[in-house]
Chains A and B, each alone.
Chain A
Amino acid sequence: MTLNRRRFLGTSAVAVTLGAPMLKAQATPRVVVVGGGAGGATAARQIAQDSEGAIDVTLIEPSRTYYTCFFSNLYIGGFRDMNSIAHDYATLAAEYGINVVHDWATGVDRDAKVVALAGGASVPYDRLILSPGIDFVEGSVPGWDLSAQTRMPHAYKAGTQTALLKAQVEAMPQGGTFVMVAPPNPYRCPPGPYERVSMVAHVLKATNPTAKIIIADPKPGFSKQALFEEGWQKHYSGMIERIGPDFGGENTSVNAADMSVGIDGEVIRADAVNVIPAQKAGLICAAAGLTDGDWAPVVPATMQSRMDENIHILGDATQQGDMPKSGFSANSQAKVAAMAIRGALTGSRVFPARFSNTCWSLIDTNDGVKVGATYEATEEKIAKVAGFVSDTGEAPELRAATYEESIGWYAGITADMFG
């Protein structure tokens, strides 16, 4: 790729060019990507790399630093530092010629095919990709709203929230109580809350062994349940109690002012509370009129919105069928969308869509487990066709190798996203 105008401009000056008349605007098709996370960064990079300048790619993302939610639990457990889960967009701008615009998308004019930005600019597109992740459903945990998030963090978007939760766990008094309010289905990263409990327990076992962990859970079961419960018994015996729906776990409210949690009428005083509310597609999806209920339905073979063929939606925000909401899934969906978009805009070859996902979780030092599956497109949905999951009772060597593998995966997927 030649050193082009965009490389010279870098990330900051691009906003200026947006207002100006576009050179060659007719000739070069434009793809605009909203959200520079697992789905959006992957898609932007794939399209820029494979189209070799034949497509103009703009990435709109408010943050200059993206903290991955994946491995943010390991940060809480003390296995990673915050720097190691931080990524920026410099390489995407400099080496892939992507116009990186640090701003919020506030709306989409689908007839004019223009994205409006909070800073006032509007960005025209031939194809638009939305990968905005999740937002929270208001009122899903009575007593909690975003104003309570400093006292009772969700830590379900990584960064300051994660640091806050870690600090609160570490500040708990001896013998204190940690409560997690777990989310109802569907939500990002099905094993995420339970990996988090494992990591909190890992910290408490070392520094505060008489502390207690309570999970208020509205779901009858959860991902890798047998593996987590075996691990909790083995490493953190007696520390973790899960209150499922048969014991009122779905009837939970909180009071951030006095740090209490009500579970089926019983009030518990807590020293640290992690509220993970119910979730929905990132707000821009509803603002663009692309949601049905809480999520944005898509066509499996191309990830096009069911409501607008010029818009592709990726990752957590979508309603696509069987894939769990994970970074791996978003990355996999981004590749299918990138191929479809290049095919439509430049006539490049298009192959049948294929998807995959694997989620690793860490239960304690060198005790890693995983669950994975392959998926394919049917007309109706992305459907699971095969899968595997770690076994209970595996040898410690295998569990250590699984953890090692997750470190490799992290290096791989972040290189795949950010170049």
Chain B
Amino acid sequence: MRRLVLAALLAWAPLPGARADQVAVPLGDAEAGAEIFRQCRACHHVGEGAQNRIGPHLNGLFGRPAAGLPDFDYSDSMERAGADGLVWDLEHLHAYIENPRSLVSQTRMVFPGIADATQRSDFLAFLRRYSDDPANIPEAAPTALAVEIVLPPEVLGLEGDAEYGAYLAAECLTCHQADGGNDGIPSITGWPDEDFVVAMHAYRQKLRPHPLMQMMAARLSDEEIAALAAYFGDL
């Protein structure tokens, strides 16, 4: 099953037409997804006032544990999946919609699945509208996919670009103080470049445990880490 989930992950990666000033793309085309949802409406309702029907209502689906609605009578198989810790995030919804029985063997949902990854993405973009908004509940599921940032060639090159580093560093300086002060949050100024680079790669690879720093490092390219090291090294 793990392989199947991975395959699904790769399948929704195409992301055409990303622009330089646009570094994320929507989960899919929600309007197209609304059309796909028509075939589900006999059993599932979503939107204001939606109630359970033959299937559970789909409001607040993202982030909901499997079999998570107290007043719906789920299959034993679904109950078990929930007890095992299955949570409906984007990855697992993709896998389930692709082939419901891959994830929940005896599910009562009589639906063959959607083979086409783009269609699934559109469908899930539509459903995502009816779950928590991160503006109100910051821990709510993402609403977009990150795109590898494509930078002009002069920005690239592993010799750290300190000017680019200065811009990237602005993000670090919300917490880490420019003057090297360290109450509660460590100082990151004046390190040897190499130590800085190694530490950031360790966060990016999730070898160092801090979840906030893992998140920040996750979207830094090799060049960007080099740029930051160059900037903070000279501070």
Asked whether A46 lies within 8 Å of B170 as measured between CB atoms, the reply is yes
Shortest Cβ distance from residue B137 to the other chain A in the assembled complex, whole angstroms: 5
Interface check A203, CB cutoff 8 A:
no
Shortest Cβ distance from residue A405 to the other chain B in the assembled complex, whole angstroms: 5
A222 vs B141: C-alpha distance when bound (angstroms) = 14
Interface check A357, CB cutoff 8 A:
yes
Known: A372-B212, A377-B24, A415-B181. A386 touches B218 (CB 8 A): yes
Partner-contacting stretch, out of B3-11, B76-84, B143-151, B189-197: B143-151
**Choice from A321, A377, A380 contacting B23 with Cβ under 8 Å:** A377
A28 vs B176: C-alpha distance when bound (angstroms) = 32
A191 vs B177: C-alpha distance when bound (angstroms) = 25
User: Which interface residue of A224, A375, A383 has the most chain B CB atoms within 10 A?
Assistant: A383
A227 vs B224: C-alpha distance when bound (angstroms) = 34
A160 vs B182: C-alpha distance when bound (angstroms) = 31
Partner-contacting stretch, out of B101-109, B115-123, B127-135: B127-135
User: Which interface residue of A339, A352, A386, A413 has the most chain B CB atoms within 10 A?
Assistant: A352
Interface check B157, CB cutoff 8 A:
no
A166 vs B108: C-alpha distance when bound (angstroms) = 55
A406 vs B175: C-alpha distance when bound (angstroms) = 9
Asked whether A222 lies within 8 Å of B134 as measured between CB atoms, the reply is no
Shortest Cβ distance from residue A119 to the other chain B in the assembled complex, whole angstroms: 33
**Choice from B24, B151, B164, B178 contacting A378 with Cβ under 8 Å:** B24
Interface check B167, CB cutoff 8 A:
yes
Measured between beta carbons, the chain B residues less than 8 angstroms from A385 are: 24, 142, 144-146, 219
User: Which interface residue of A222, A224, A377, A408 has the most chain B CB atoms within 10 A?
Assistant: A408
Closest to B140 in A: A384
Chain B 23-60 interface residues, beta-carbon cutoff 8 Å to A: 23-26
Interface check A370, CB cutoff 8 A:
yes
Interface check B183, CB cutoff 8 A:
yes
Interface check B235, CB cutoff 8 A:
no
Interface check B138, CB cutoff 8 A:
yes
Chain A 158-177 interface residues, beta-carbon cutoff 8 Å to B: none
Closest to A409 in B: B175
Interface check A116, CB cutoff 8 A:
no
Measured between beta carbons, the chain A residues less than 8 angstroms from B136 are: 185-186, 190, 219, 223, 324
A331 vs B185: C-alpha distance when bound (angstroms) = 18
Task: Count how many chain A residues have C-beta atoms less than 8 Å from C-beta atoms of the other chain.
Answer: 60
Asked whether A352 lies within 8 Å of B183 as measured between CB atoms, the reply is no
Asked whether B177 lies within 8 Å of A371 as measured between CB atoms, the reply is no
A374 vs B155: C-alpha distance when bound (angstroms) = 22
Interface check B71, CB cutoff 8 A:
no
**Choice from A322, A353, A406, A409 contacting B134 with Cβ under 8 Å:** A322
Chain A 172-228 interface residues, beta-carbon cutoff 8 Å to B: 185-186, 190, 219, 221-224
Asked whether A415 lies within 8 Å of B177 as measured between CB atoms, the reply is yes
Chain A 388-412 interface residues, beta-carbon cutoff 8 Å to B: 388-389, 404-409, 411-412
**Choice from B23, B143, B184, B185 contacting A353 with Cβ under 8 Å:** B23
A293 vs B186: C-alpha distance when bound (angstroms) = 43
A395 vs B191: C-alpha distance when bound (angstroms) = 31
Closest to A419 in B: B178
Rank and list the top 9 A-B pairs by shortest CB-CB distance, nearest first: A408-B184, A408-B185, A383-B144, A376-B24, A389-B139, A407-B184, A322-B134, A185-B136, A385-B146
A residues whose Cβ falls under 8 Å from a Cβ of B: 46, 50, 185-186, 190, 219, 221-224, 301, 321-325, 328, 331-332, 335, 339, 349, 351-354, 356-359, 370-381, 383-389, 404-409, 411-413, 415-416
24 inter-chain pairs at a CB distance below 8 angstroms, sorted by A residue, are A46-B170, A186-B135, A224-B139, A322-B133, A322-B135, A322-B143, A323-B134, A335-B170, A339-B167, A351-B151, A351-B164, A356-B174, A356-B216, A371-B138, A376-B23, A376-B147, A378-B25, A384-B140, A384-B143, A386-B218, A387-B139, A387-B215, A409-B175, A409-B185
